[in-house]
Protein backbone atom coordinates (compact mmCIF):
# COMPACT_ATOMS: atom_id res chain seq x y z
CA UNK A 1 0.00 0.00 0.00
CA UNK A 2 3.01 2.22 -0.71
CA UNK A 3 3.59 4.78 2.07
CA UNK A 4 -0.03 4.63 3.23
CA UNK A 5 -1.15 2.43 6.06
CA UNK A 6 -4.25 1.50 8.03
CA UNK A 7 -4.98 2.25 11.65
CA UNK A 8 -7.39 0.18 13.69
CA UNK A 9 -10.77 1.59 14.51
CA UNK A 10 -10.63 2.10 17.23
CA UNK A 11 -43.06 26.29 24.60
CA UNK A 12 -41.67 28.76 22.05
CA UNK A 13 -41.28 27.37 18.57
CA UNK A 14 -38.00 27.69 16.74
CA UNK A 15 -37.75 30.73 14.54
CA UNK A 16 -35.78 33.86 13.82
CA UNK A 17 -36.10 36.32 16.67
CA UNK A 18 -35.20 39.97 16.59
CA UNK A 19 -36.54 41.05 19.98
CA UNK A 20 -34.71 41.01 23.31
CA UNK A 21 -34.57 37.57 24.93
CA UNK A 22 -33.75 36.65 28.51
CA UNK A 23 -30.94 34.22 29.28
CA UNK A 24 -30.44 32.74 32.76
CA UNK A 25 -28.30 30.06 34.41
CA UNK A 26 -30.26 27.12 33.02
CA UNK A 27 -30.43 28.80 29.64
CA UNK A 28 -27.49 28.29 27.30
CA UNK A 29 -26.40 31.02 24.91
CA UNK A 30 -24.70 29.57 21.80
CA UNK A 31 -22.78 32.02 19.59
CA UNK A 32 -22.14 31.01 15.97
CA UNK A 33 -20.17 32.96 13.36
CA UNK A 34 -19.62 30.38 10.60
CA UNK A 35 -23.30 30.23 9.53
CA UNK A 36 -26.01 27.60 9.78
CA UNK A 37 -25.30 26.86 6.11
CA UNK A 38 -22.00 25.26 7.11
CA UNK A 39 -22.06 21.58 6.08
CA UNK A 40 -21.40 20.40 9.64
CA UNK A 41 -23.94 22.66 11.37
CA UNK A 42 -26.54 19.95 11.85
CA UNK A 43 -24.15 17.21 13.03
CA UNK A 44 -21.66 19.29 14.99
CA UNK A 45 -23.80 22.13 16.37
CA UNK A 46 -27.54 21.47 16.32
CA UNK A 47 -27.55 17.76 17.23
CA UNK A 48 -25.14 18.19 20.21
CA UNK A 49 -27.35 20.99 21.53
CA UNK A 50 -30.39 18.72 21.36
CA UNK A 51 -28.45 16.07 23.26
CA UNK A 52 -27.55 18.56 26.00
CA UNK A 53 -31.25 19.35 26.39
CA UNK A 54 -32.22 15.66 26.42
CA UNK A 55 -29.62 14.94 29.12
CA UNK A 56 -30.95 17.78 31.24
CA UNK A 57 -27.68 19.77 31.10
CA UNK A 58 -29.64 22.86 30.03
CA UNK A 59 -33.35 23.57 29.79
CA UNK A 60 -33.32 26.04 26.92
CA UNK A 61 -30.92 27.22 24.22
CA UNK A 62 -30.70 30.54 22.45
CA UNK A 63 -28.56 30.18 19.34
CA UNK A 64 -27.26 33.44 17.94
CA UNK A 65 -25.96 33.20 14.38
CA UNK A 66 -24.29 36.01 12.45
CA UNK A 67 -25.28 35.74 8.78
CA UNK A 68 -24.27 37.81 5.76
CA UNK A 69 -27.74 37.13 4.31
CA UNK A 70 -30.55 37.71 6.79
CA UNK A 71 -32.92 35.79 4.52
CA UNK A 72 -31.27 32.69 5.95
CA UNK A 73 -34.00 32.74 8.58
CA UNK A 74 -36.26 31.14 5.97
CA UNK A 75 -34.13 27.98 6.20
CA UNK A 76 -34.57 27.56 9.95
CA UNK A 77 -37.82 25.63 9.70
CA UNK A 78 -35.88 22.38 9.23
CA UNK A 79 -34.37 22.87 12.70
CA UNK A 80 -37.60 23.08 14.65
CA UNK A 81 -37.14 22.30 18.34
CA UNK A 82 -39.43 23.49 21.14
CA UNK A 83 -36.59 24.65 23.41
CA UNK A 84 -34.10 26.07 20.89
CA UNK A 85 -34.65 29.64 19.70
CA UNK A 86 -32.65 31.30 16.95
CA UNK A 87 -31.56 34.92 16.76
CA UNK A 88 -30.26 35.96 13.33
CA UNK A 89 -27.94 38.98 13.35
CA UNK A 90 -26.21 40.72 10.46
CA UNK A 91 -22.63 39.64 9.79
CA UNK A 92 -20.60 42.46 8.30
CA UNK A 93 -17.34 42.04 6.35
CA UNK A 94 -14.42 41.29 8.68
CA UNK A 95 -12.28 44.41 8.36
CA UNK A 96 -10.57 44.27 11.73
CA UNK A 97 -11.00 43.45 15.40
CA UNK A 98 -13.47 46.32 15.63
CA UNK A 99 -15.87 44.30 13.46
CA UNK A 100 -16.17 41.74 16.25
CA UNK A 101 -16.68 44.50 18.82
CA UNK A 102 -19.57 45.72 16.68
CA UNK A 103 -20.97 42.18 16.61
CA UNK A 104 -20.74 42.05 20.41
CA UNK A 105 -22.83 45.22 20.61
CA UNK A 106 -25.38 43.65 18.27
CA UNK A 107 -25.52 40.65 20.57
CA UNK A 108 -25.87 42.87 23.61
CA UNK A 109 -28.84 44.69 22.08
CA UNK A 110 -30.56 41.38 21.36
CA UNK A 111 -30.46 40.14 24.97
CA UNK A 112 -32.33 41.71 27.85
CA UNK A 113 -30.47 39.90 30.62
CA UNK A 114 -26.89 38.96 31.39
CA UNK A 115 -25.90 35.50 30.13
CA UNK A 116 -24.02 33.24 32.54
CA UNK A 117 -23.62 30.05 30.46
CA UNK A 118 -22.16 30.66 27.01
CA UNK A 119 -20.66 28.48 24.29
CA UNK A 120 -18.96 30.00 21.25
CA UNK A 121 -17.90 28.09 18.14
CA UNK A 122 -14.44 29.10 16.98
CA UNK A 123 -12.17 32.06 17.81
CA UNK A 124 -14.26 34.73 16.05
CA UNK A 125 -17.42 33.77 17.93
CA UNK A 126 -15.28 33.34 21.04
CA UNK A 127 -13.92 36.87 20.86
CA UNK A 128 -17.42 38.22 20.23
CA UNK A 129 -18.54 36.42 23.40
CA UNK A 130 -15.63 37.93 25.36
CA UNK A 131 -16.43 41.44 24.17
CA UNK A 132 -20.11 40.83 24.90
CA UNK A 133 -19.20 39.88 28.48
CA UNK A 134 -17.06 43.00 28.74
CA UNK A 135 -20.13 45.08 27.87
CA UNK A 136 -22.39 42.96 30.04
CA UNK A 137 -20.00 43.23 32.97
CA UNK A 138 -20.60 46.98 33.11
CA UNK A 139 -24.14 46.34 34.32
CA UNK A 140 -24.21 46.86 38.12
CA UNK A 141 -27.32 44.72 38.36
CA UNK A 142 -25.63 41.82 36.53
CA UNK A 143 -25.64 38.27 37.82
CA UNK A 144 -22.65 36.10 38.72
CA UNK A 145 -19.63 36.12 36.40
CA UNK A 146 -20.17 33.99 33.35
CA UNK A 147 -18.93 30.55 32.43
CA UNK A 148 -17.68 30.65 28.84
CA UNK A 149 -16.60 27.75 26.64
CA UNK A 150 -14.85 28.54 23.35
CA UNK A 151 -14.89 25.60 20.96
CA UNK A 152 -11.58 25.43 19.11
CA UNK A 153 -12.42 23.45 15.98
CA UNK A 154 -9.14 24.09 14.18
CA UNK A 155 -6.66 26.86 13.39
CA UNK A 156 -8.36 29.83 11.77
CA UNK A 157 -5.25 31.66 10.49
CA UNK A 158 -3.48 28.50 9.34
CA UNK A 159 -6.59 27.16 7.62
CA UNK A 160 -7.00 30.42 5.71
CA UNK A 161 -3.32 30.36 4.72
CA UNK A 162 -3.52 26.70 3.71
CA UNK A 163 -6.68 27.16 1.63
CA UNK A 164 -5.22 30.24 -0.10
CA UNK A 165 -2.13 28.26 -1.08
CA UNK A 166 -4.34 25.96 -3.14
CA UNK A 167 -5.33 28.88 -5.39
CA UNK A 168 -3.57 30.85 -8.08
CA UNK A 169 -3.45 34.40 -6.74
CA UNK A 170 -2.49 37.76 -8.21
CA UNK A 171 0.03 39.96 -6.38
CA UNK A 172 -2.67 42.08 -4.76
CA UNK A 173 -4.60 39.00 -3.67
CA UNK A 174 -1.42 37.75 -2.00
CA UNK A 175 -1.24 41.02 -0.07
CA UNK A 176 -4.84 40.58 1.09
CA UNK A 177 -4.13 36.98 2.15
CA UNK A 178 -1.08 38.08 4.17
CA UNK A 179 -3.08 40.83 5.90
CA UNK A 180 -6.06 38.60 6.66
CA UNK A 181 -3.86 35.77 7.91
CA UNK A 182 -2.29 38.17 10.44
CA UNK A 183 -5.77 39.37 11.43
CA UNK A 184 -6.98 35.82 12.07
CA UNK A 185 -3.84 35.12 14.08
CA UNK A 186 -4.45 38.17 16.24
CA UNK A 187 -8.06 37.11 16.79
CA UNK A 188 -6.90 33.66 17.89
CA UNK A 189 -4.40 35.25 20.27
CA UNK A 190 -7.12 37.27 21.94
CA UNK A 191 -9.49 34.32 22.07
CA UNK A 192 -7.07 31.67 23.34
CA UNK A 193 -4.18 33.41 25.09
CA UNK A 194 -4.01 33.90 28.84
CA UNK A 195 -5.24 37.53 29.17
CA UNK A 196 -2.59 38.32 31.77
CA UNK A 197 0.25 37.57 29.35
CA UNK A 198 -0.93 39.55 26.32
CA UNK A 199 0.27 43.18 26.21
CA UNK A 200 -2.50 45.67 25.79
CA UNK A 201 -5.33 43.38 26.81
CA UNK A 202 -7.49 44.77 29.58
CA UNK A 203 -8.80 42.76 32.48
CA UNK A 204 -12.31 43.32 31.18
CA UNK A 205 -11.51 41.14 28.19
CA UNK A 206 -11.76 38.08 30.44
CA UNK A 207 -14.76 38.82 32.71
CA UNK A 208 -15.43 35.12 33.33
CA UNK A 209 -15.08 32.97 36.40
CA UNK A 210 -14.72 29.84 34.27
CA UNK A 211 -13.14 30.03 30.80
CA UNK A 212 -12.67 26.74 28.96
CA UNK A 213 -11.06 26.17 25.58
CA UNK A 214 -12.59 23.00 24.16
CA UNK A 215 -10.30 21.36 21.58
CA UNK A 216 -11.09 18.59 19.11
CA UNK A 217 -7.72 16.85 19.52
CA UNK A 218 -4.79 16.64 21.89
CA UNK A 219 -2.58 17.92 19.09
CA UNK A 220 -4.67 21.09 18.87
CA UNK A 221 -4.44 21.61 22.62
CA UNK A 222 -0.66 21.24 22.46
CA UNK A 223 -0.50 23.75 19.59
CA UNK A 224 -2.55 26.35 21.48
CA UNK A 225 -0.34 25.98 24.55
CA UNK A 226 2.84 26.39 22.51
CA UNK A 227 1.67 29.15 20.16
CA UNK A 228 -0.75 31.23 22.23
CA UNK A 229 0.34 30.31 25.76
CA UNK A 230 -3.11 28.93 26.51
CA UNK A 231 -2.99 27.56 30.09
CA UNK A 232 -3.25 23.77 30.13
CA UNK A 233 -5.83 24.03 32.94
CA UNK A 234 -8.18 25.88 30.57
CA UNK A 235 -8.09 23.17 27.91
CA UNK A 236 -10.38 20.17 27.68
CA UNK A 237 -11.05 17.62 24.96
CA UNK A 238 -14.41 17.94 23.18
CA UNK A 239 -16.75 15.02 23.79
CA UNK A 240 -20.27 16.38 23.25
CA UNK A 241 -20.12 16.34 19.44
CA UNK A 242 -18.86 12.81 18.89
CA UNK A 243 -20.84 10.52 16.62
CA UNK A 244 -22.35 7.65 18.62
CA UNK A 245 -21.16 4.20 17.59
CA UNK A 246 -23.87 2.12 15.94
CA UNK A 247 -24.72 -1.31 17.43
CA UNK A 248 -22.78 -4.16 15.80
CA UNK A 249 -25.94 -6.05 14.83
CA UNK A 250 -27.37 -2.96 13.12
CA UNK A 251 -24.10 -2.42 11.21
CA UNK A 252 -24.10 -6.08 10.09
CA UNK A 253 -27.70 -5.85 8.88
CA UNK A 254 -27.06 -2.59 7.03
CA UNK A 255 -23.88 -4.00 5.51
CA UNK A 256 -25.86 -6.82 3.95
CA UNK A 257 -28.70 -4.55 2.81
CA UNK A 258 -26.47 -1.82 1.36
CA UNK A 259 -24.21 -4.25 -0.50
CA UNK A 260 -27.25 -5.86 -2.08
CA UNK A 261 -28.61 -2.41 -3.03
CA UNK A 262 -25.26 -1.37 -4.55
CA UNK A 263 -24.57 -4.76 -6.18
CA UNK A 264 -21.32 -5.21 -4.28
CA UNK A 265 -20.26 -8.84 -3.67
CA UNK A 266 -20.39 -9.97 -0.05
CA UNK A 267 -16.74 -11.05 -0.16
CA UNK A 268 -15.45 -7.79 -1.68
CA UNK A 269 -13.11 -5.54 0.30
CA UNK A 270 -14.66 -2.08 0.10
CA UNK A 271 -12.72 1.16 0.54
CA UNK A 272 -14.94 4.18 1.12
CA UNK A 273 -14.37 7.89 0.59
CA UNK A 274 -16.91 10.29 2.05
CA UNK A 275 -16.60 13.98 1.31
CA UNK A 276 -16.04 16.57 -1.38
CA UNK A 277 -13.64 16.55 -4.32
CA UNK A 278 -11.59 19.44 -2.96
CA UNK A 279 -7.79 19.35 -3.36
CA UNK A 280 -7.13 19.74 0.39
CA UNK A 281 -9.19 16.61 1.06
CA UNK A 282 -6.81 14.65 -1.20
CA UNK A 283 -9.58 13.37 -3.43
CA UNK A 284 -7.22 12.82 -6.35
CA UNK A 285 -4.69 11.04 -4.14
CA UNK A 286 -7.49 8.77 -2.94
CA UNK A 287 -8.46 7.75 -6.48
CA UNK A 288 -4.79 7.28 -7.35
CA UNK A 289 -4.33 5.06 -4.29
CA UNK A 290 -7.27 2.87 -5.31
CA UNK A 291 -6.03 2.63 -8.91
CA UNK A 292 -2.84 1.11 -7.52
CA UNK A 293 -4.67 -1.05 -4.98
CA UNK A 294 -6.82 -2.88 -7.53
CA UNK A 295 -3.67 -4.04 -9.34
CA UNK A 296 -2.88 -6.24 -6.34
CA UNK A 297 -6.34 -6.85 -4.88
CA UNK A 298 -8.89 -8.35 -7.25
CA UNK A 299 -11.60 -8.12 -4.58
CA UNK A 300 -11.26 -4.37 -3.98
CA UNK A 301 -14.13 -1.95 -4.51
CA UNK A 302 -14.30 1.82 -4.02
CA UNK A 303 -17.44 3.44 -2.63
CA UNK A 304 -17.49 7.23 -3.08
CA UNK A 305 -20.17 9.19 -1.23
CA UNK A 306 -20.01 12.77 -2.47
CA UNK A 307 -22.06 15.60 -3.91
CA UNK A 308 -19.22 16.23 -6.40
CA UNK A 309 -20.18 13.36 -8.69
CA UNK A 310 -19.01 14.93 -11.97
CA UNK A 311 -15.59 15.87 -10.57
CA UNK A 312 -15.04 12.34 -9.28
CA UNK A 313 -16.12 10.86 -12.60
CA UNK A 314 -13.33 12.82 -14.27
CA UNK A 315 -10.75 11.57 -11.77
CA UNK A 316 -11.85 7.97 -12.21
CA UNK A 317 -11.44 8.26 -15.97
CA UNK A 318 -8.08 10.00 -15.56
CA UNK A 319 -6.68 7.11 -13.51
CA UNK A 320 -8.41 4.42 -15.59
CA UNK A 321 -10.35 2.94 -12.67
CA UNK A 322 -12.76 0.30 -14.01
CA UNK A 323 -16.37 1.46 -13.63
CA UNK A 324 -17.46 -1.95 -12.36
CA UNK A 325 -15.15 -1.57 -9.35
CA UNK A 326 -16.61 1.75 -8.23
CA UNK A 327 -19.89 2.90 -6.74
CA UNK A 328 -20.22 6.69 -6.92
CA UNK A 329 -23.32 8.41 -5.57
CA UNK A 330 -24.62 11.43 -3.67
CA UNK A 331 -26.58 10.56 -0.55
CA UNK A 332 -28.52 12.59 1.97
CA UNK A 333 -26.67 13.32 5.24
CA UNK A 334 -29.31 11.35 7.17
CA UNK A 335 -28.49 8.23 5.13
CA UNK A 336 -24.71 8.53 5.19
CA UNK A 337 -23.98 6.13 8.06
CA UNK A 338 -26.18 3.45 6.51
CA UNK A 339 -24.13 3.55 3.30
CA UNK A 340 -20.86 3.58 5.24
CA UNK A 341 -21.88 0.22 6.73
CA UNK A 342 -21.23 -1.33 3.31
CA UNK A 343 -17.51 -0.56 3.60
CA UNK A 344 -14.53 -2.17 5.31
CA UNK A 345 -12.16 0.80 5.38
CA UNK A 346 -12.52 4.58 5.25
CA UNK A 347 -10.10 6.71 3.21
CA UNK A 348 -8.61 9.71 5.02
CA UNK A 349 -5.49 10.96 3.25
CA UNK A 350 -4.24 14.47 3.98
CA UNK A 351 -1.35 16.75 3.02
CA UNK A 352 1.35 17.16 5.68
CA UNK A 353 0.48 20.48 7.29
CA UNK A 354 -0.21 21.73 10.80
CA UNK A 355 -3.83 22.36 9.77
CA UNK A 356 -4.33 18.64 9.22
CA UNK A 357 -2.11 17.55 12.11
CA UNK A 358 -4.34 19.19 14.74
CA UNK A 359 -7.66 18.31 13.06
CA UNK A 360 -10.38 15.83 13.92
CA UNK A 361 -12.24 15.40 10.61
CA UNK A 362 -15.96 14.80 10.85
CA UNK A 363 -15.62 11.90 8.42
CA UNK A 364 -13.23 10.23 10.88
CA UNK A 365 -15.98 10.25 13.51
CA UNK A 366 -18.41 8.81 10.98
CA UNK A 367 -16.01 6.08 9.91
CA UNK A 368 -15.41 5.13 13.53
CA UNK A 369 -19.14 5.12 14.29
CA UNK A 370 -19.62 2.13 11.99
CA UNK A 371 -16.37 0.42 12.95
CA UNK A 372 -14.32 1.02 9.80
CA UNK A 373 -10.56 0.82 9.69
CA UNK A 374 -9.06 4.12 8.63
CA UNK A 375 -6.61 4.35 5.73
CA UNK A 376 -4.40 7.39 6.28
CA UNK A 377 -0.89 8.68 5.63
CA UNK A 378 0.14 9.89 9.07
CA UNK A 379 -0.79 13.53 8.47
CA UNK A 380 -3.41 13.66 11.26
CA UNK A 381 -1.96 13.71 14.75
CA UNK A 382 -4.65 11.69 16.50
CA UNK A 383 -4.24 8.88 13.94
CA UNK A 384 -0.45 9.03 13.60
CA UNK A 385 -0.02 8.41 17.32
CA UNK A 386 -1.81 5.06 16.92
CA UNK A 387 0.72 3.87 14.37
In tens, the pLDDT along 317-357 reads 999 999 999 999 999 888 999 999 999 999 999 999 999 99
* Sheet bearing 146-152, strands edge to edge: 16-17, 84-90, 60-67, 27-32, 117-121, 146-152, 208-215, 235-237
CB atoms within 10 A of CB 88: 22
**At residue 277, does pLDDT exceed 80?**
yes
Contacts of residue 367, Cβ cutoff 8 Å, sequence gap at least 6: 9, 272, 274, 340, 346, 348, 374
Q: What is the DSSP letter of 111?
A: B
Phi then psi for residue 314, to 5 deg, are -65, -40
Are 11-237 and 248-384 equal in CATH topology? yes
- What distances in angstroms separate CA 351 from CA 127, 168, 284, one per listed residue? 30, 18, 12
Residue 208 has pLDDT above 60, yes or no: no
Where do the domains of the chain lie? 11-237, 248-384
Which pLDDT does position 145 carry in this prediction? 62
* Residue partners of 3: CB distance under 8 A and separation at least 6: 377
Distance of alpha carbon 201 from alpha carbon 53, whole angstroms: 35
Q: Which CATH number fits domain 11-237: 2.60.40, 1.10.1060, 3.30.390, 3.40.50?
A: 3.40.50
The per-residue pLDDT for 70 is 79
At 141 the pLDDT is 45
Q: What is the pLDDT of residue 1?
A: 32
Which is higher by pLDDT, 8 or 173? 173
pLDDT exceeding 70 applies to what percent of the chain? Answer: 85
Paired residues of 215 in beta bridges: 152, 237
In terms of Cα–Cα distance, which of 344, 341, 336 is closest to 370?
Answer: 341
- Residue 341 has a CB neighbour count (10 Å cut-off) of 22
Determine contact, residues 90/107, Cβ cutoff 8 Å: no
Q: pTM value?
A: 0.82
Distance in angstroms (rounded) separating the CA atoms of residues 28 and 53: 10
pLDDT in tens, 158-207: 999 998 988 888 999 999 999 999 999 999 999 997 654 434 444 444 44
Homologous superfamily (CATH) of 248-384 is Glycogen Phosphorylase B; (3.40.50.2000)
Contact of 334 with 208, CB cutoff 8 Å: no
Amino acid sequence: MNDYFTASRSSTPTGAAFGRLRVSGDHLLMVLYDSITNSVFESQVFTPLMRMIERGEVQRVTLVTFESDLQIKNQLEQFNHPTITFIVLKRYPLLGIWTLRLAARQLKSALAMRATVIRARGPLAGLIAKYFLELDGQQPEGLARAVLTIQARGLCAEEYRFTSEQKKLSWWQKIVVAWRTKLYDRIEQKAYMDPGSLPGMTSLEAPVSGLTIEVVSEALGEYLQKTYATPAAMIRLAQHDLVDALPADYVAAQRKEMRALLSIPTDAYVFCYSGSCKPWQCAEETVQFFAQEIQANSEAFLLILSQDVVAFQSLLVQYAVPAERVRLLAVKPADLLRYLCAADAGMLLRQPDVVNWVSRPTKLLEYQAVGLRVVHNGAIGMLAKKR
